[in-house]
Amino acid sequence: MTEAYKMIRSGNCDAAIVATANLCLHPYANFGFYRLAIKSKLEEFGLLQDQFLSGVLSFNGYCRPFDEAGSGYMRSDAMTVVYLQKAKNAKRIYATFVYGKTNCDGFKEEGITFPSFKKQKMLLEEFYEECGISPSELSYMEAHATGTLVGDPAEIMSIDQTLCAKRNTPLLMGSIKSNLGHSEPASGLCQIAKILLAMETGIITPTIHFKCPRKELTAIIEGRIKIVTEPTEWEGGYVGVNSFGFGGANCHILLKSNPKQKINNGAPNNDLPILVIVSGRTKEAVKIILDDVRSRSVDIEYISLLHHIHNDNIEGHLYRGYMITESKTSYNTINKIEHQYIKRPICFIFSGLGSQWSGMTGRALMKFPVFVKAVQKCDIVLRSYGIFLTDILISDNKNISSNIINLFLALVGLQIGIVDLLTSIGIVPDFIIGHSIGELICGYADGCLTTEETILS
């Protein structure tokens, strides 16, 4: 994640996909972790004597970060992907990646599983000095915290001394490993996923299995750090994320929530029914998506997301279905695709005189803002000639429609509006055919003529 951030900042790329995976497939790997021992000198963490701590895996199947009953972690499977891009190119921003930094402990006599409090503290001190953000501005801290006997004290002590020193309120903290276990190389992105969900839903997922802090964790006992054990309202701001690895790899990133709220809470700015088209591997999958859309209040951002996902053929999606919002039918139709991945050509045919009638636009097309905007552009051009295209298009007055100039302008303006309306929803022609003045619209549809040139021709 940090490398992707650096690559984008340096101009090597505009976006990056960061993906990780961990699969616990081999029993011998689990057995090796179970036997892994940590021999440590623990005086600096407040323990009075050297001791031999056997195993990093929990003997009872629970991962209890920060808790006195914690005895290690459980390994877990995860496949996580994050898409990082420049904010100016983003369609929807879940969070801003403010800064990221890594360091490494190097060789340690105690072994690869033993953390370095000094290096973790150094990382946090250098991090916030370099990024220019005060640690007191943190709203929440997602700790690495695996529940091991040596890992949690080292991390809590480094956080306490660097992030809590100047705070007036307790630092909220949690660990996703209590919920998911430790997915090892994939755990960092699991932490990020938890934070993004908190920012999206407004609720911080609680850290479970925490009842009483271990005696070494004085920052928690004395109230400088507060473990989130109940669903807690997310109030926005900065989030720090710690992620450590075997061998002494230490990483810290800073995320900032996106304060942007949905416009009108996602509700459309008109009362038009909306067509929703989706695809799936099975008929049931399509029905589930459509029923989910129907169960919600109309959210044009969510529907737009579905349209972008299902706009193109997806391999293996043999079924397509649609629904219309505000329709009483649970779903309108779901059909199996017989001829997959064959794109049929689209042809626009533009008509000339003879296809018109009084009030041919009616009120239906005037409900579409894109169509109205196109007609208004024509109106502006024609106004200096004393002609008002909108009146011509919607009027039922036969005297208006009997004027040959009005007929020409109505057909041209109407078809300009229809072209703009269709292209605005992604319907672009492969072929264009025009008859009489319809040839002018062909020139407009393929970009050769502007609105002004077309309506004045």
- Tens of pLDDT, residue by residue over 192-231, are 999 999 998 999 999 999 999 999 999 999 999 999 999 9
How far apart CA 143 and CA 252 sit, in angstroms, is: 10
Q: Which CATH class for the 347-456 domain?
A: alpha beta
> What percent of the chain is helix, strand and coil (3-state, nearest 5)?
40, 20, 40
Look at residue 20 in the predicted model and tell me its pLDDT: 95
Q: Provide the 8-state DSSP code for 272.
A: -
Q: Do domains 1-257 and 347-456 have the same CATH topology?
A: no
Q: b/e string for 234-247 if b means 16 or more Cβ within 10 A?
A: beeebbbbbbbbee
Look at residue 3 in the predicted model and tell me its pLDDT: 93
Fold of 1-257: Peroxisomal Thiolase; Chain A, domain 1 (3.40.47)
Report domain extents, the chain: 1-257, 264-336, 347-456
Where do runs of H (alpha helix) occur along 19-103? 27-35
How far apart CA 217 and CA 129 sit, in angstroms, is: 26
What are the CA-CA distances from residue 447 to residues 300, 378, 442, 454 (Å)? 29, 16, 9, 11
Look at residue 399 in the predicted model and tell me its pLDDT: 67
Look at residue 333 in the predicted model and tell me its pLDDT: 64
- Residues of the chain with confidence (pLDDT) below 70: 36-55, 265, 327-342, 355-363, 398-402
Look at residue 33 in the predicted model and tell me its pLDDT: 80
Look at residue 327 in the predicted model and tell me its pLDDT: 59
Cα–chain center distance at 166: 33
The pTM is what?
0.68
CATH classification for the domain delimited by 264-336, as one of 3.30.360.10, 3.40.50.300, 2.60.120.680, 3.30.70.3290 = 3.30.70.3290
Look at residue 242 in the predicted model and tell me its pLDDT: 97
Lookup result for tokens 């623990």: 42
